[in-house]
Amino acid sequence: MSTETERQRRFDALARQYSTDLYRYALWLCGQDALAKDLVQETFLRAWRALDSLKEQAAVKGWLITILRREFARTFERKVPKFTDIEYVVVADEPDATPDERTERHQIREGIMRLPKKYREPLMLQVVMGFSCEEIAQQLGLTKSAVMTQLFRAREKLKTVLQKDGITGNVYELF
């Protein structure tokens, strides 16, 4: 077991390195900024508590993603969603993106979210988090070939969904 200072240093480095990736993945999962931030916070809290049980430093990203996915699943077990009057909702602009880019991004995201979980999850892990097929297979408890098949089918299904919505082009180029 490490000293408390070493443990804190190790955790700080872990948080600095992975917080952006975790937030991006959480936002893709839930689609809500505040909930995504809560999920990341809860993930780091659980990671802090279990930090000493992490044996392989190379597996840290997958370990954190697993914690985040489980935490996301727990949200629906214990929280009743709050409803906000639409009159008070403020929508932030994305100044760097053109209206066409924002619309296309939104349509792609919506298309991904309409995919069955079996296809959506590996696609998000690859596209949003940058995991390799081997890493996705470990995360989801599948074989590498099963992940490759699911990713291929996910892109094909996404292409069909997007074409129905009037978006044309190569799905592989959209990411």
Q: List, for residues 113-153, the tens digit of each pLDDT value.
A: 888 888 888 888 888 778 888 888 888 888 999 989 999 99
- Does 70 share its domain with 98? no
Tell me the pTM: 0.53
Under a CB-based contact definition with an 8 Å cutoff, are residues 10 and 51 in contact?
A: yes
- Does 24 share its domain with 61? yes
- Does 160 share its domain with 105? yes
Name the residue among 17, 13, 6 with its Cα closest to residue 52: 6
The tokens describing 164, both together, are: 């129905």
The tokens describing 116, both together, are: 């069955």
Q: What 3-state DSSP class applies to 17?
A: helix
- The answer on pLDDT for 101 being more than 60 is yes
Q: How buried is 3 (Cβ within 10 angstroms: 0-12 exposed, 13-18 middle, 19+ buried)?
A: exposed
- Does 113 share its domain with 74? no
- Does 160 share its domain with 123? yes
For residue 2, give every residue at least 6 positions away whose Cβ sits within 8 Å of its Cβ, in sequence order, or none. Answer: 10, 52
Domain assignment of residue 88, yes or no: no
- Does 62 share its domain with 38? yes
The whole-angstrom separation of Cα 20 and Cα 140 is 22
Q: Which domain holds residue 69?
A: 4-78
Domain assignment of residue 170, yes or no: no
The whole-angstrom separation of Cα 148 and Cα 46 is 31
- Number of structural domains the chain divides into: 2
Boundary (domain end) residue, out of 18, 51, 78: 78
Boundary (domain end) residue, out of 32, 54, 78: 78
Neighbours of 136 (CB within 10 A): 25
Domain assignment of residue 172, yes or no: no
Q: List, for residues 57-99, the tens digit of each pLDDT value.
A: 778 888 898 899 888 888 766 555 555 554 554 545 556 667 6
